[in-house]
Amino acid sequence: MAQSGIPIIDINSADEATIGKQLVDAAEEYGFIYIRNLGQDISTEQVDEAFALSRKLFDAPVEEKVACAIQTNNRGWGGLHSETLDPRTQKVGDFKEVFNIGLFKDGKPQQPLPPTIIPDQARLESFRDACTAMCTKLLRLIGNGLGVGDFFAEAHEVKPGDECDTILRLLRYPPPAATAHSASDVRAGAHSDYGSVTLLFRLRGQAGLEVQSRDGTAWAPVPVQPPGTERDPGPPILVNIGDLLSYWTNGLLRSTVHRVVFGGAAVEGESATDPRYSIAFFSSPSPSTELGIVPSERVRKFVPPGGASANPYAERKVMRADEHLRMRLAETYGDLYKKK
């Protein structure tokens, strides 16, 4: 167990039924899961290269990045304070720079990229493809663990005429000393993820991520290198359940609130003094997918802690995946969506 209690699962250590149950148990209790022993799924070299490309992109001239400013399709560059992940409590926007990369078609990105990074677009596409394959594997395993087979994996296959809302997001948080901030400010506001499942890649020694307790009263740091993984070739991937998998399972799988802070509780060997880089892959189903409750016996029998009244999905409508995404993006980028 890590400091936050998040389980560490070897996803290639047993049969799929066993791994699926482990993933579902972890997703129900924590909403976050470390996965290790990735085999040929995603290599350490691929992750290292992705971080090198992220640094290259963010070091590009600001004029190049501004020309690729994020649009309502959720693709492109966002500068410091362009996002406010917790608009109810944040006085200023997030202290981070982002670049969202969408689908490639025939080897070409379906969005502008800074000229600095265009020679490397094939490598970005390759990493995005590896993340897609990993999410498909996880969704299949979780489906098996819930007794619904390939339900989730098939729902993430893009249907003809649909856009793909799955996003590869590169993030850079400037060093705290480089940005004026108050004691109440955070680098990224408290939020749950908008999609179905997220892969989070982090660098050794970089602190900041915290998860909220189930009752919402406390925060716990999430180490990059949890105890027991120190000898692994690279840090384990952190997987978290997003809103859509929680909605699909009537709240059984937790979409846990998390944030990135300037300091926070200390984790041995980690520091928040330097720039912080991370890479997130937000997997989303086909936009036209309806989010009805899945036909799982475990979901049917689930009673939320505190009873049904504590379940935010107890009184619900069946919404489409794209309706939920647009609702959450409008909260985050209020001014951008108001212009439309």
pLDDT at 1: 42
- C-alpha to C-alpha distance for 3 and 9, rounded to whole angstroms: 15
Q: What is the largest CA-CA distance in the chain?
A: 55
Residue 13's pLDDT band, with cuts at 50, 70 and 90, is confident
**pTM of the entire structure?**
0.92
Q: Which residues of 176-208 are buried (b: 16+ CB within 10 A; e: fewer)?
A: beebeeeeebbbbbbbbbbbbbbbbbbbeebbb
- C-alpha to C-alpha distance for 148 and 228, rounded to whole angstroms: 32
Residue 14, pLDDT > 80, answer yes
Q: Give the right CATH number for 8-334 from 1.20.120.530, 3.40.50.300, 3.30.470.10, 2.60.120.330.
A: 2.60.120.330
Mean local confidence (pLDDT), 293-299? 93
Please write the tens of the pLDDT for every residue from 194-252: 899 999 999 999 999 999 998 889 999 999 999 999 999 999 999 999 999 998 998 99
Contacts 24+ apart (CB under 8 A), 21-25: 21/145, 22/145, 23/138, 23/141, 23/142, 23/145, 24/142, 24/145, 24/146, 24/253, 24/298, 25/145
Residue 88 identity (one-letter amino acid): R
pLDDT at 104: 93
Please write the tens of the pLDDT for every residue from 64-104: 999 999 998 899 999 999 999 888 999 899 999 999 999 99
Residue 108, pLDDT > 90, answer yes
Strands 32-36 and 237-241 turn out to be antiparallel
- The pair of three-digit structure tokens given for residue 142, joined into one six-digit string: 């979780």
pLDDT at 319: 74
Residue 309 identity (one-letter amino acid): S
Inter-CA distances, 318 with 30, 151, 248, 253, Å: 25, 17, 9, 17
Domain residue spans of the chain = 8-334
Q: In this structure, are residues 238 and 222 in contact, taking their beta carbons and an 8 Å threshold? A: yes
Query: How many other CB atoms are there within 10 angstroms of residue 119's CB atom?
Result: 9
Coil, strand or helix at 340: coil
pLDDT at 70: 93
Residue 310, pLDDT > 50, answer no
Query: How many other CB atoms are there within 10 angstroms of residue 304's CB atom?
Result: 15
pLDDT at 315: 52
